[in-house]
A and B are shown apart, each in its own frame.
Chain A
């Protein structure tokens, strides 16, 4: 079953614009991770935010986490055509071992 629901399902922007994707989840988590998937490829880990953190930055990426609302957002600033991909949030409840439950994904298209 999918833990996270992502919004929007698809997003189309121009290069240089910012892209914001949202993720909502249902149960308590230990951490939340964002992954990118280029067409026909495997997933690449982007960033991890722990449940006791509210915001985290990595390069052009900014992630926020609101555990009271069970939601997270991923902001990509100054987007590039190479950012075109599907983005997934994944929650980890950590039950002795990591178990990632992925959301449904946001398809991002960045046009030159």
Chain B
């Protein structure tokens, strides 16, 4: 079974530029998550999709971050404009929604972003 795919793996941009990350979840996984992991910290949930609908974006800085999941499969996360504090690893994860309150999330390798 193929895992969660993410691209690019690394990105270096200057502040005020824009950047986009792409995620392809495991086939059949209805739930997709984007996390931000700052160096030395645990991942923080940015946004969660159930199929192509958003179920939680309470921690997404909506003035600069946006995400979409068209057709309920692939997803893109965009930052515009980027700030220095956005330097982090952006992790995508997916899970199979069974509604039984027990789910395992499968993580991609992440995109390491450095904002100069």
Contacts and interface: CB of A to CB of B under 8 A. Distances in A.
A42 B107 contact: yes
B71 interface: no
A28 interface: no
Contacts of B45: 99-101
A50 B101 CA distance: 10
Contacts of B102: 31, 48, 50
A2 interface: yes
Nearest to B104: A45
A94 to B, nearest CB: 5
B41 A2 contact: yes
Contacts of B108: 42
* Best-buried of A2, A41, A42, A92 by chain B (most CB within 10 Å): A42
Contacts of B93: 42-43
Interface in A1-53: 1-2, 4, 30-31, 33, 35, 40-45, 48, 50
A2 to B, nearest CB: 6
A102 B109 contact: no
* Best-buried of B91, B101, B109, B110 by chain A (most CB within 10 Å): B101
Given A45-B106, A48-B104, A105-B42, 4 more contacts: A43-B105, A50-B102, A104-B41, A104-B42
29 contacts: A2-B41, A2-B42, A2-B44, A31-B101, A35-B107, A41-B109, A41-B110, A42-B107, A42-B108, A42-B110, A43-B43, A43-B91, A43-B93, A45-B104, A45-B105, A48-B104, A50-B102, A88-B43, A92-B103, A94-B101, A97-B50, A97-B56, A98-B31, A99-B45, A100-B105, A101-B45, A102-B43, A105-B41, A105-B42
Interface of A: 1-2, 4, 30-31, 33, 35, 40-45, 48, 50, 88, 90, 92, 94, 96-105
